[in-house]
Structure 1
Amino acid sequence: MNRGASSAVGADVWSRTHTHHWDDWTLDSLVGAKVASGATVSLVVPARNEAATVGDVVTRVREALVETVALLDEIVVIDSDSTDETYAVATDAGATVHRSAEIRPDLGSHPGKGEAMWKSLFVTAGELVVFMDADLLDWDTHFVPGLLGPLLTRPEVALVKGFYERPGQRGSLDGGRVTELVARPLVALLHPGLADLVQPLAGEWAVRRSLFASLPVPTGYAVELAALVDTEARLGLQAIAQVDLGTRAHRHQALHDLGGMATQILAASLARRTDADLPLDGAVLRQFVLPGLVPADRVVPTLERPPAERYLP
């Protein structure tokens, strides 16, 4: 049996035992598990120019604290070089807000979602960290307890991915273009053990701080896939779980922006499976714009931060 077939068999077993639904646990059972474990929980929302939606995300989570106050110990927004009112809107909504560039300035600053998530480890305290995107439009506050379920009830689980329907004009899985065209083929070819992850690039996920702090973190959009690949390599597939969170919608990005995201994901994946001579700090992506098919080169950052634990007390 070849490596891919063997991994697929293992993934099939994993899917039956490590796939959950958000309501598999009652709130009381999760609160009890949290109290028994003594764990603390941080919700982190990385945001860049999300003034239109970040306030609603924070407000809805805080309003739900009437029911889930014992699950979340802090709500932190990391503002990643926004040029709009993201910082002010998130602050007004009641979050603790930090500008990514101002966190540990001695370590420098880089643009990108992964950078904001890496920097969050220096300004949060939770032993469990829940990440949520700031551009959510159609979602519910059960996302938080759903993602925490496996971490609070299964000690062997270290990372939990959310998945959901993404309704659109072409059906319930509309959206996720980079997932279908880049991430899923990469998983099939290079990381087959992760094949049963429904949405490997989902922005809603949770992780034990000790694990995330020990991993290298791409500064851009490859952070989610890199965390999965590195967790499987280090701890095995049994350390990963996924939870059906129901329905999620967010604003779609322009096609040219998706090209940059795809480049970052390819770079992170290849860096973990080959000895290819990849650029350490950026790849030149040539795209063409209309009218006239004018070539436009852009440098796509591919930098990775070393494990944050190197800089933590």
Structure 2
Amino acid sequence: MSIKRFHHSDFSNTANLAALKHDTSTKISVCIPTLNEAETIGQIVRIIRQELMEQIPLVDEILVIDSQSTDRTLAEASSAGARAILSSDISPESGSYTGKGENLWKALHVATGDIICYVDGDIKNFHAGYISGLVGPLLEDAEIHYVKAFYERPLADERGGSQPGGGRVSEILIRPLLSLFYPELTGIFQPLAGEYAARRKLLESLAFPTGYGVEIAHLIDLWKHGHLSGLAQTDLIKRVHRNRDDSELGVMSFAILRVFLQRLERDGRISLHSELPELFRSWIFEPGQTTEVLNRIVEEERPPLRDIRAVTPAP
């Protein structure tokens, strides 16, 4: 099945998008998960506020949902015009985990939009097309329900320049796995992209792993529940961000792989004969010695918000 594809410039007339939003009484929330992104978060928020709230009334609110940053992320976000909230302060009765997926799930509790647009907080070349290019298809086509970004992801080199080769986890881990087990999803160019927009009703029907597995879980679950016809993707050209080193990518891959394997078993595509380990083992190599590094990675899963509300008695 062919997935609908757009370019962000297709939606450069943001005044038209704002008129569509007004005519359909739609509200749009931009939600940004953060952890120590003081270097970039202020500029991202300022661009959204100035170009898509003050100049053109496309976005109704900007929420920064933070995982206990130790730098000035919260202060920078607030001074730039976002509502900055600690993830742990949202729905405290449901407990709190540390992780990107947790922040995205908690955002649904406080966002007021009918369309939720998620963007990462470490983008160095952010432009308004990141938002208009993702929400535009949802405003113009009622049959589209979930819009994923794709782009070139350059890798910084030692001289301060860049070269092709970013998106290593997607290309080395996720794309082979999708080809083997979920070929229906191989037409998605950036399956782990952190930039996407969706209708609230759909997001509230999805489970949210609390860590790095959230994006691939969404795609597999959209496939499982027959929503691929409502999936689209938008070309944002290029995404420049803070590249992670191999040790960070190992932790990310471990978390994502646990989520992927659990869904494979759920969908009857493999059988696991024991519980998946939570301990990720890696090594640091230094002159004259090697040190084992142990990381316990528990990818808890938040249930669909719709299910929680269905069993919560009205006040």
* TM-score of the superposed pair, with normalisation by structure 2: 0.89
Contact 2:53 2:59 in 1 (8 A): no
What SS is found at the alignment partner of 2:63?
strand
Contact 2:194 2:215 in 1 (8 A): yes
What SS is found at the alignment partner of 1:69?
coil
Q: 1:47 aligns with which of 34, 57, 69?
A: 34
In 2: Cα distance, 1:278 partner to 1:262 partner: 20
What SS is found at the alignment partner of 1:121?
helix
In 2: Cα distance, 1:68 partner to 1:227 partner: 33
Instruction: Give the aligned partner of residue 168 of structure 2.
Output: 177
Q: 2:57 aligns with which of 51, 70, 79?
A: 70
Over 3 Å counting, the alpha-carbon distance change for 1:64 and 1:77 in structure 2 is same
Over 3 Å counting, the alpha-carbon distance change for 1:88 and 1:67 in structure 2 is closer
Contact 1:139 1:247 in 2 (8 A): no
RMSD: 1.9
Q: How much has 1:153 moved relative to structure 2?
A: 1.5
Instruction: Give the aligned partner of residue 139 of structure 1.
Output: 126
Instruction: Give the aligned partner of residue 21 of structure 2.
Output: 34
Instruction: Give the aligned partner of residue 222 of structure 1.
Output: 213
Q: 1:197 aligns with which of 188, 198, 201?
A: 188
Consecutive unaligned residues in structure 2, runs of 5 or more: 266-270
Instruction: Give the aligned partner of residue 107 of structure 1.
Output: 94
Instruction: Give the aligned partner of residue 268 of structure 2.
Output: none
Q: Deviations over 1:58-113 (max 9, x none)?
A: 11211213676322110000011212221111111110011001111111100100
Q: 2:302 aligns with which of 294, 298, 305?
A: 305
Identity across the alignment (%): 39
Q: Deviations over 1:124-172 (max 9, x none)?
A: 1101000010001123111111001111112121110011122346876
What SS is found at the alignment partner of 1:109?
coil
Q: Which moved further from structure 2: 19-28 or 54-63?
A: 19-28
Instruction: Give the aligned partner of residue 290 of structure 1.
Output: 285
Consecutive unaligned residues in structure 1, runs of 5 or more: 1-9
Q: Does 1:160 align with 2:147?
A: yes
Contact 1:231 1:239 in 2 (8 A): no
Q: How much has 1:46 moved relative to structure 2?
A: 0.3
Q: Which moved further from structure 2: 104-113 or 84-93?
A: 84-93
What SS is found at the alignment partner of 2:236?
strand
Q: 1:149 aligns with which of 133, 136, 139?
A: 136
Q: Which moved further from structure 2: 62-71 or 118-127?
A: 62-71
In 1: Cα distance, 2:87 partner to 2:111 partner: 13
Instruction: Give the aligned partner of residue 5 of structure 1.
Output: none
Q: How much has 1:309 moved relative to structure 2?
A: 2.2
Q: Which moved further from structure 2: 31-40 or 262-271?
A: 31-40
